[in-house]
Every structure is written in C-alpha cells, then in structure tokens.
Structure 1
Amino acid sequence: MSTPIRFLALGDSFSEGVGDPDSDRPNGVRGWADRTAEVLCHHDPQARYANLAIRGRMINRVMAEQIPAALELKPTVVSLYAGANDILRPKVNLELILGNYRDHVQSLRRAGIQVYLFTGFDPATTATYAWMRPRVALYNEIVRDIAADLDCHIIDYWRRKELQDWRYWDIDRMHMNANGHSVIAREALRVMFGGIVTEEEISAHIPVPEPEPMPEADRRAQIIANLQWTREHALPWIKRRLTRTSSGDGISPKYPDRDAFQSYL
C-alpha cells in the first residue's frame, strides 16, 4: 500500500496566500497552496497538507524557522519559495543567502522528501519593479542550479507571462489576487501531482481564471490611483524596512500540522 501524500508549503506571503482573502481561514487568506491541497485532498482523502509560510519572511529566517519544523512533520512533498523580500532590499548578496538556502534544501532531500522550488516572477513589464529583473534572473539561475544538483523539481513562476497582466494582482501591487493564485495552483497541480490528479479534476475545482476587463483610466485617474497606492501600500512597506519590522510579526503558520486543514475541505 502506497504512503499517503503529505504536502507541506514553505516560504513567505506567496505561499501563505496573501492577496487571496478568505475571512473564514486562518490569517484571513486562501492562496494557491490551499487551492492545490483542496484538489489533492478531494482526489485522495488520505492526503494531508500543512503550511508554515508567513508573510514578510526573508530567506534566512524561512530556513531557520521553517526547515526544522518541516523535518519534524515528515512530509513527502515540499514546495518552497522565498527570496522576494530579500530581492526588494537596497542591497542583497544572493550568492551568500542562497548558499544557506541550498544547505537547507539539501537537508530536505536527505530526508527523502520530494522538493519543488519556485523561480521568481519576471517583472519586466512592470514599471514599479522592472529594476529587480537582473536580481530575479540571478536568483533563478542559482535556484535552477540547486534544483539540478539536488534532484529537485522546478515550478517556473518566471515563465507565467500572463501574470504580467495587472488583473492578476491585488490592489497592493505586491501580491497576486485570487485569479493569480488560481493560475499558480493549476500549474502546481500539474507539476507536483500531474500523475495523480487529472486535468478534468483541476478544471472542475479551479476553472481557468477570466479576469474582468480593466476600465480605461485617464491620466488624472492614474495619478490618483498611484498616489493612493503610495500612501496605503508603498509608504507602510518602507516604514517597516526602516523600523526593522515585518508584516508577518505576530502571525502564526496557517496550518502547522497535518490535520489542521481538513475542516476547510
């Protein structure tokens, strides 16, 4: 008899589900990992899911806090994405912090866990974040090398070019909305569990997102929207950096064990 799948999501706001609100869930968010687990657990009621990701976490803190906890949970499958919060800093040594990342990924592999690593998103067409593209490209190359060396798998966020459409993003312009999380969930199901769940099951539970057309905004409306975004999202983010605080301070993992998620199915 085969061992039931135990899926564990690690990382930051991306895997916690920020941008995809659901007031009935822990931390008030759903996200791609929950959506992925819902399909998996409907297919196989013996499957289990936990999620230790917390918004605002940088790579070294994800490694220090979540990897030891992950090993204790004994998952069979782990997804990991961390690094965006590091890349956003004024200065970052990606080779150094991804060396630490590599060591911890290796500890997961030595435990016999299947590991799925995410590349970073391509910000090429977004004026706000286009400056990050060289950093993300370097991050991706290192992550791809780690995956090849340690026999991990890649979920390629960089190549999901449809996500360069702002209709897949939350009003904060930092996190995907429900449609964006659905795109990633569909991709994750194919890459991680494509030999288990069918395309029909994926489409039944997560239909292809169809964002509403964006209304044409005149120049004045765009300026007002940009000022509002700066006031409500950009400036609070800068303040947290200056005060060395995090949006994840005081927040606990959504599903810290293998049974906490079952009531949401």
Structure 2
Amino acid sequence: MTLGDSTAVGLGDPLPGGGWRGFPMLLRDALGASTLLNLGCTGARMSWVRDDQLPEALTASPDVVVLSVGMNDTLRSDFDPEQLHDDCAAIVGALRAEGTYVLMVRYHDHTRVFRLPAPLRRALYRRIVALNGVIDAVAATDPAGIGVLDLDLLPGGYERSAWSVDRLHPSERGHRMLAAGFAELLSDAGFAVPYPVSLECAGGREVTAVQRTAWLVVKGVPWLARRGRDLGPVIVQSLVGELVRRPATVVIRRDPTADC
C-alpha cells in the first residue's frame, strides 16, 4: 500500500495509454504481490494523509505501507515542524499498532535539483532539514518496524536522468531507483523480493522535447510564481534573520598623524 502525495501517485512516470505507473507498481511487481492499494493524492500534505488516507489504509490491514509525503508542506507558508511531527507520528504509530511494516522517505537536498533564487533556495533547504528531522525522530521510535530510504544517499539520485521535466518528480528511471531502494529495505527486513527491480527504462511513455517545453510554459512558470507569492513572507523573514545574525565588521583606521 502507498500513502502520500504526487510522487506516490507516480507522477513523472507516464504510461503509454495514459495515467501513471511510478515506484508503487514497480515495487508491487518486485514483490510479486497480486494487489496494490495506492491512496496517494496529488498535492497531499502530512495532515491530509492523517485525516483522509490513514482511515482507509487501516481498514485494509496492509502488510507494508510506503509513506511518501512532506515536500508539499515545505513549500507552504504555514510550514510547522511540530505539527508535522505530530501528524507523522500519528500515521506511523497507527500503522505499526496494526502490525504493518512502514517504509518512509528521508529527503535529498532538492535545491540541487530544482534551481531557485538564492533566498528561496536557502528557505527551502532549511525546511527540508527540518522535515528530515521529523522523519528521523519518528523512525527512531521503532527501528525494527520502520525502514527509511535516504534519497540523499541514493546512488545517482542527483543525476538529471533521475528527474522528470519539472525537476520535482522522479522520472521513470527515478521511480525505478525508488522502487529498487524500497525493495532492498524490505529484503533486509525479511520480506521476499523474488523479482529485482531493473533500472533500465521500459514500458513507460517517452517525453518529447516539445512536451517538456509545453510543461514549462503552461505549468512550470505559473507554479514557481505561486510558490514565490506563498513563500514571500518567509523569504523576507529569512533575509532579515540573516542580517540580524550576521556579526558586524568593525574597521579601525589608524590616524597617520597620531603618535605611536
């Protein structure tokens, strides 16, 4: 079972007939599972998963749940690490109480993939660090029942080929890398993984240069403008904070006419 946002949905790995595949289907095939319940939703935040996706997940009594969520929270002006921790702990705690093995994602430095203006880049990086702190804290409560895939350490994770045109979602290759990483964690936890995930792209839809350009014009630039407005107050606060914290430089000039 998969809970989370658009990465959990499979965005970035389109199928020829429409829709998305993504790491959930690739991981299902690696496990040889007959069913996959994917409750992921584009735009989902941690609180949404807790309120909307978790209740349905608990009724299904899954053996394994992949929780991929949090980046949308970092891109909002109401970002709150304490609330994130409360929501994440509630989600994972409820799943573990049912005996479900939980896989989580520890995020990479997204500013190395998605180029942003310097003030926005610094603000986003600090939030990713805070989000990872939440993931670490929740995972530490039950190391035997929680596996964490660290995207910062994923081989090839910062290569251009791992990312779709928007630089926010994994490409087909990126989704294959995620599926392979999760499969390895499950194998280490004692789950049977009879069919290794191939990193060779196959079965997806090729994205053309025209489609990439169209995305940038129709969706990419408007998205960046919306996020800039939403995070504008955060950027200003960050810049003011840096100026306040920056130590003053005092220059003492000696009067050449003065006696030594």
Q: TM exceeds 0.5?
A: yes
Aligned to 2:11: 18
Tell me which amino acid in the other structure corresponds to 1:18.
L
Look at both structures and tell me which one has the larger radius of gyration over its CA atoms.
2
Overall identity of the aligned pairs, in %? 24
Q: Structure 1 regions of 5+ residues with no counterpart? A: 1-7, 211-224, 244-265
- SS of corresponding position for 1:162: coil
* Contact persistence 2:31–2:193 (CA under 8 A): yes
- SS of corresponding position for 2:178: helix
- SS of corresponding position for 1:116: strand
Aligned to 1:9: 2
Q: 1:156 to 1:240 in 2, by over 3 A?
A: closer
Structure 2 counterparts to residues 118-157 of structure 1, below 5 A? 118-126=105-113, 127-128=115-116, 130-131=121-122, 132-151=124-143, 152-157=146-151
The offset of 1:175, in angstroms, is 0.9
Aligned to 1:115: 102
Aligned to 1:263: none
Q: Structure 2 regions of 5+ residues with no counterpart? A: 203-211, 231-260
Q: CA RMSD in A?
A: 2.8
Aligned residue pairs, count? 212
Aligned to 1:82: 69
Q: 1:99 & 1:147 partners in 2: Cα distance?
A: 13
The TM-score normalised by the length of structure 2 is 0.72
Q: 1:143 & 1:62 partners in 2: Cα distance?
A: 15
Structure 2 counterparts to residues 1-265 of structure 1, below 5 A? 8-24=1-17, 28-41=19-32, 47-126=34-113, 127-128=115-116, 130-131=121-122, 132-151=124-143, 152-160=146-154, 162-194=156-188, 195=190, 196-197=192-193, 201-202=195-196, 205-208=197-200, 229=216, 231-236=218-223, 238-239=225-226
Q: 1:115 & 1:10 partners in 2: Cα distance?
A: 10
Tell me which amino acid in the other structure corresponds to 2:199.
P
Q: 1:34 to 1:108 in 2, by over 3 A?
A: same
* Contact persistence 1:155–1:188 (CA under 8 A): yes
Q: 2:48 & 2:225 partners in 1: Cα distance?
A: 20
- SS of corresponding position for 2:65: strand
- SS of corresponding position for 1:68: helix
Q: 1:168 to 1:66 in 2, by over 3 A?
A: same
Tell me which amino acid in the other structure corresponds to 2:22.
G
1:198-245 deviations in whole A, cap 9, x for unaligned?
5xx31xx523569xxxxxxxxxxxxxx9997265313046559989xx
1:104-131 deviations in whole A, cap 9, x for unaligned?
2111111111111111222252333743
Tell me which amino acid in the other structure corresponds to 2:140.
A
* Contact persistence 2:177–2:199 (CA under 8 A): no
Q: 1:98 & 1:238 partners in 2: Cα distance?
A: 29
* Contact persistence 2:88–2:138 (CA under 8 A): no
Q: 1:176 to 1:114 in 2, by over 3 A?
A: same
Q: Whose RCO is larger (CA < 8 A, sep 6+)?
A: 1
* Contact persistence 1:183–1:209 (CA under 8 A): no
* Contact persistence 2:173–2:199 (CA under 8 A): no
Aligned to 1:251: none
* Contact persistence 2:3–2:39 (CA under 8 A): yes
